[in-house]
Amino acid sequence: MSIQEPGFWRAGAISTTAVMIVVLIFLSIDSIQVISAGGANVPRYDVINQQIGYRYDWTRRMDVPVIGGPEPLFGTVYSETGAQALIAKGKLVIQSRACMDCHTFFGNGAYYGPDLTKSWLDPAWSQIWMPATGAKTREDAMVMFLMNPDRYPTWTRQMPNLQLTREEAQAAVAYLKWMASVDTNGFPANFGMKQP
Ligand code: HEC
């Protein structure tokens, strides 16, 4: 077959397309494995029963989440299905109130308010909001803040009161704790500068 023949080009186009389809399928399966709960970068949902911290990784040159010992959320140890249901509810709360209009999650959203991807690790919960609300734990302070953001402002821009119920606020907090455990390849940069 010479390069003058249309058959040569057709065979080239068909074989290149076929090879690239195989590569695309392989990359898609690989990505899904990495980004699914229980995958390489995303812990299982019941990670909300554990301490979430971070450390600077000198090889990757970025902050990476560290999953520590037991630290039940709201004093409850959730099963994997219970945790998944709670986090799914939190996601619905976050979607239904359009938190993304002001906040960023996993790189999506706005910067009117703080980036929430690692908000669970924000030292302000223990340093400012726990004393302000009188809450004994970080998660209770987060619930109090989310139910009454107008009562506990810390910044020049204020978060409006979105009339969240306690159950809705707790579900949103479970989502935020799980989100902090996800290895986002160091995003947002320098979140490790915050000391929880
Ligand atoms: C109209 C804009 C707006 C919307 C909508 C909004 N927020 Fe906020 N949020 C803010 C601002 C501004 C702050 C900073 C307030 C402060 O520190 O006093 C804030 C702060 C926060 C914080 C504390 C972050 C930190 O680490 O300092 C959390 C958590 C939070 N918002 C969650 C939510 C959730 C969940 C929703 C949706 C249910 C939501 N926000 C909707 C504007 C908004």
pLDDT digits (tens, 9 = 90+) for 10-30: 999 999 999 999 999 999 999
The answer to whether the CB of 113 falls within 8 A of the CB of 102 is yes
pLDDT at residue number 196? 40
- How far is ligand 1, taken at its centre, from the CA of residue 47, in Å? 24
The tens-digit pLDDT sequence of the chain (196 residues) is 677 888 999 999 999 999 999 999 999 999 998 889 988 899 999 999 999 999 999 999 999 999 999 999 999 999 999 999 999 999 999 999 999 999 999 999 999 999 999 999 999 999 999 999 999 999 999 999 999 999 999 999 999 999 999 999 999 999 999 999 999 999 998 776 654 4
Residue (of 186, 187, 183, 180) closest to 73 by Cα position:
180
Nearest-atom index, ligand 1, CA of 172:
35
Nearest-atom index, ligand 1, CA of 164:
38
Backbone angles phi, psi at 123, to 5 degrees: -60, -15
pTM over 0.85, yes/no: yes
pLDDT digits (tens, 9 = 90+) for 117-128: 999 999 999 999
pLDDT at residue number 112? 95
Residue (of 169, 89, 168, 98) closest to 135 by Cα position:
169
Distance between CA atoms of residues 144 and 152, nearest Å: 9
Q: Which residue ranges have their beta carbon within 6 Å of ligand 1?
A: 93-94, 97, 99, 101-103, 112-114, 116, 119, 122, 124, 146, 153-155, 157-160, 162, 172
Residue in the block written with tokens 């399928």: 25
- How far is ligand 1, taken at its centre, from the CA of residue 82, in Å? 26
45-193: CATH class: mainly alpha
Residue ID of nearest Cα to ligand 1 atom 42: 159
Distance between CA atoms of residues 18 and 69, nearest Å: 48
Structure token digits, residue 59? 């090889």
Give how far Cα 88 sits from Cα of 95, 106, 169, Å: 10, 16, 13
Nearest-atom index, ligand 1, CA of 175:
35
Residue (of 38, 52, 37) closest to 173 by Cα position:
52
pLDDT at residue number 39? 87
pLDDT at residue number 171? 98
User: What are the boundaries of each domain within the chain?
Assistant: 1-35, 45-193
The answer to whether the CB of 164 falls within 8 A of the CB of 102 is no
- How far is ligand 1, taken at its centre, from the CA of residue 120, in Å? 12
Burial tier of 159 (Cβ tally within 10 Å: 0-12, 13-18, 19+): buried
pLDDT at residue number 194? 52
